[in-house]
Structure 1
Amino acid sequence: MENQNQDQSSGKPPLPFDIPDFETLLKKQGYALAGSHSAVKTCLWLKKAMNDEGFCYKGKFYGVASHRCLQMTPTLLCNQSCLFCWRPTEVPVPAPGEWDSPEKIVEESIACQRKLITGFGGSPNALRERWLEGNDPNNVAISLSGEPTMYPYLPELIEEYEKRGFTTFLVTNGTIPEMFAKVNPCQLYMSLDAPDLETYLKVCQPKSPALWDKISESLALMKEKSSRTVIRITLVKGVNMFNPEGYAELIKKASPDFVEIKAYMHLGFSRLRLERSAMPAHAEVLEFSEQVAKHLGYEIADESEISRVVLLSKDGKKSPVRKKT
């Protein structure tokens, strides 16, 4: 395949390697394809949980068992190329000729998860009870890679997981308010990674500057949602880690139940775009979070130093995510 990096028209620096075909690249990164355009990937914390080495901050904040959390995306397409993204945003993603049904995606994503954790069943380091439970995932994080609201049957996908007893987390960049208005997961996240348009263009590199106005629309829509709502900020030192008052003013439009403020982590393909020094220390994240909380009128509800993340809520309290009744 021709090296796409020879084309400098995008203004992005060339990658220091030839780009393999897309499917090969996904497999090298540990993804399992579910259907023709969806993907599943296990995270570090699932592995740690299997080996009785702790749970991720979603467990501490929201009661999610890491070993039973299925991390997936219904599409690897995205309309942003965020500097901090650990996926290879430089590699073009082919659009599907036809979209898979929600039923097919759910079936195949669960099958992929079971296949990905097979090795823990015979591992002397893993807890067998955890492995058995892991084969029956009960939470789905629709947040792996790509922008899930680009999948046209996203509301039906969420419903299909919930029919099978899952709690549902959805993470979106908020750039497609038409779909944002339709979805109703157990917990709805929206990324907000800039306090103003200029910073947004630099950090998120959207396909169109007009997407900033779309984000504003989604913030307003969030205020009316029946789902539990979360605004997530990824802080990149020296890039978007300033103007806490500006972030607070935008967040007020959404009035979310929670705000997660998290450090950029120097992982994956982001290492080709950012220096390790762009990763703020937990103390810096905490200090910035305190400033946002002050301007927002929220309180710190919890923090996870190992993940460099701070949780804010209106009353300084937190509660586990629950299935819909």
Structure 2
Amino acid sequence: MSRTRSSPQTPKDSLHRQGYNFISPETGASAAVKPCMWCKRALRGGDQCYKHQFYGIESWRCVQMTPTLRCNQRCLFCWRSMEHEITRETELTPEEIVAAIPRMQRKGLSGDKPWSDPDRWETATSHPNQYAISLSGEPTLYSRLPELIDLLRDAGNSVFVVSNGTVPQMIQKIRPTQLYLSLDASDLAGYTRLCRPMGDPAAMWNNILTSLSLLRDKEADGIRTAVRITLVKGYNDGDAAALAALIRDAAPRYVEVKGYMYLGYSRMRLPETAAPDMDEIRTFARAVAEHADYQIRDENAPSRVVCLERKP
């Protein structure tokens, strides 16, 4: 008796099982939407994301998405599935992405409807007003990112972009509501060890420094700026003073010191002992604040994050 062989699993098959809803999988595009845990909790009347606490974002109205899953780093601490990396894709237009987002968000939240607050569920799926371009991948590798952000903001929405800073030419062009730059090392050696760039490490590190130097101009243009440090024990937890020097020069409005959490695919690369506890995160954040002349603004223990703000 012959047996029917199942088709081999593709990277997108694995990601789809994790909750990624691809906007146009048949075209080879990797633009995707995936409602986050905090969005789902807020729908049910539960706790909200730390972005609500720090920046006033209503978590149930926030869409977590990406125009591309390609990335040019393989960071050890990333909980996302770089083991199922998308390396080739067809880019969708900004118009195609924006038009599909409500349908994708509704699809991603459909299973939560019976347990959700009816008004919140309807608002979340019909009238989201915050877009976090941070699902996975490096968004600045999407060639039409400035147009996508402008389309989303033209409708009166806020847009947060999280970037690794390796494409300063794109950082210079985009105008999100809030721009996050990741800064996880204080020098080339630390960057190469922790973030594992997929190109010339020296060139990519210099690009990150260039992106940091653009933050003053971005803020002058009305864009809220932030630097995010992912604190990993044994890798960058001794770099407070050196990181603070870079932050002092870049002068973002906010700095988020976020502890690495032993989650997802990062468990294949790092031991559980690499995750700092909240007291260690607080101590590191205080050291950065002191050296950079920032002040502690707030903290959120469930997300293991301390927010610093530039002194007036």
Q: TM-score over 0.5 for the alignment?
A: yes
Q: What residue number does 2:163 align with?
A: 172
Alpha-carbon distance in structure 1 between the residues aligned to 2:310 and 2:288: 12
More helix per residue:
2
> Runs of 5+ in structure 1 lacking a partner?
1-18, 317-325
Q: Which amino acid aligns with 1:29?
A: Q
Q: What residue number does 1:5 align with?
A: none
Alpha-carbon distance in structure 2 between the residues aligned to 1:308 and 1:171: 18
C-alpha contact (below 8 Å) 1:39/1:72 kept by paired residues: yes
Alignment pair present for 1:191 and 2:182: yes
Matches within 5 A, 1:112-261: 112-123=104-115, 126-135=116-125, 136-207=127-198, 208-209=200-201, 210-225=203-218, 226=221, 227-261=223-257
Cα drift, residue 171 of structure 1: 0.5
Cα drift, residue 165 of structure 1: 2.2
Cα drift, residue 238 of structure 1: 1.2
C-alpha contact (below 8 Å) 1:235/1:264 kept by paired residues: yes
Cα drift, residue 166 of structure 1: 1.2
Cα drift, residue 107 of structure 1: 1.4
Residue 40 of structure 2, aligned match among 47, 68, 78: 47
Q: What residue number does 2:23 align with?
A: 34
The number of aligned residues is: 295
Matches within 5 A, 1:285-324: 285-315=281-311
- Normalised by the length of structure 2, the TM-score is 0.92
Alpha-carbon distance in structure 1 between the residues aligned to 2:289 and 2:264: 30
Alpha-carbon distance in structure 1 between the residues aligned to 2:302 and 2:97: 33
The two structures, once aligned, show a CA RMSD in angstroms of 1.3
Q: Deviations over 1:221-279 (max 9, x none)?
A: 11211211000000111111112110011112321010000011111110111111111
C-alpha contact (below 8 Å) 2:30/2:86 kept by paired residues: no
Cα drift, residue 298 of structure 1: 0.4
Secondary structure class of the residue paired with 2:60: helix
Cα drift, residue 297 of structure 1: 0.2
Percent identity over paired residues: 46
Q: Deviations over 1:142-181 (max 9, x none)?
A: 0110000000100000011112221010010000011010
Alignment pair present for 1:94 and 2:87: yes
C-alpha contact (below 8 Å) 1:68/1:138 kept by paired residues: yes
> Runs of 5+ in structure 2 lacking a partner?
1-7
Secondary structure class of the residue paired with 1:94: coil
Cα drift, residue 92 of structure 1: 3.7
Could you list the runs of 4 or more consecutive aligned residues of structure 1 that deviate by over 6 angstroms after TM superposition?
none
Alpha-carbon distance in structure 1 between the residues aligned to 2:108 and 2:151: 22
